Amino acid sequence: MNIGTVAERSSLPAKTIRYYEEIGLVRPARDSNGYRAFSDTDLHKLAFLARARSLGFTLEDCRSLLRLYEDRSRASADVQAVAQEHLDRITRKIADLELMRATLRHLVDRCQGDERPDCPILADLAGSDAAAAEAAPAERH
């Protein structure tokens, strides 16, 4: 298969496929004219990579998962460890996002959203010293 066909069947852009080849995730054969010749195995790997990336696995995770997939003597515990590590990263990221949401919700709720120039959102973004100055502008001499 040529790159256009494999791109269509794997739902990956040709640019991504070329990048995956460049970093060694896939190694298509080359025809005598130098064009890439993708096999069904290459197509399967690309679909595997597309699914793994859609789940947020890093390229290094994908490399590990592909290696494990191709190793018939693998232990499923090794696969689980890669997935668990990724799940832990997702869990930490969700906690960070929830904290950001709570902080932003608090700031939005404190902001009057009117014609006055004072704004707790901007004061918070500027830092605590600026927040104090913003809160008490008349005290400046």
- Structural domains in the chain, CATH included, are 1-56 (1.10.1660.10)
Mean pLDDT (whole number) for 73-92: 98
Contact by Cβ (8 Å): 63, 25: yes
**29-33, 68-72, 102-106, 128-132 — which is least confidently predicted?**
128-132
Residue 70: its pLDDT value, please? Answer: 94
Residue 134 has pLDDT above 90, yes or no: no
Collapsing DSSP to helix, strand or coil, 37 comes out as strand
Mean pLDDT (whole number) for 33-61: 96
Contact by Cβ (8 Å): 39, 28: yes
Tokens describing residue 15: 């640019």
- Output the CA–CA distances (angstroms, integers) from residue 87 to 54, 59, 74, 79, 94, in the order listed: 14, 15, 21, 12, 10
Considering the chain, what is the average pLDDT of its residues? 91
Please name the amino acid found at residue 39: S
Residue 89: its pLDDT value, please? Answer: 97
Residue 113: its pLDDT value, please? Answer: 87
Collapsing DSSP to helix, strand or coil, 26 comes out as coil
Residue 93: its pLDDT value, please? Answer: 98
Q: Which residues pair with 36 in a beta bridge?
A: 30
In sequence order, what are the residues at sequence separation of 6 or more whose Cβ sits closer than 8 angstroms to the Cβ of residue 82?
Answer: 57, 61, 64, 65, 68
Residue 110: its pLDDT value, please? Answer: 93
Q: Would you place residue 106 in the very low, low, confident or very high pLDDT band (cuts 50, 70, 90)?
A: very high
Q: Would you place residue 80 in the very low, low, confident or very high pLDDT band (cuts 50, 70, 90)?
A: very high
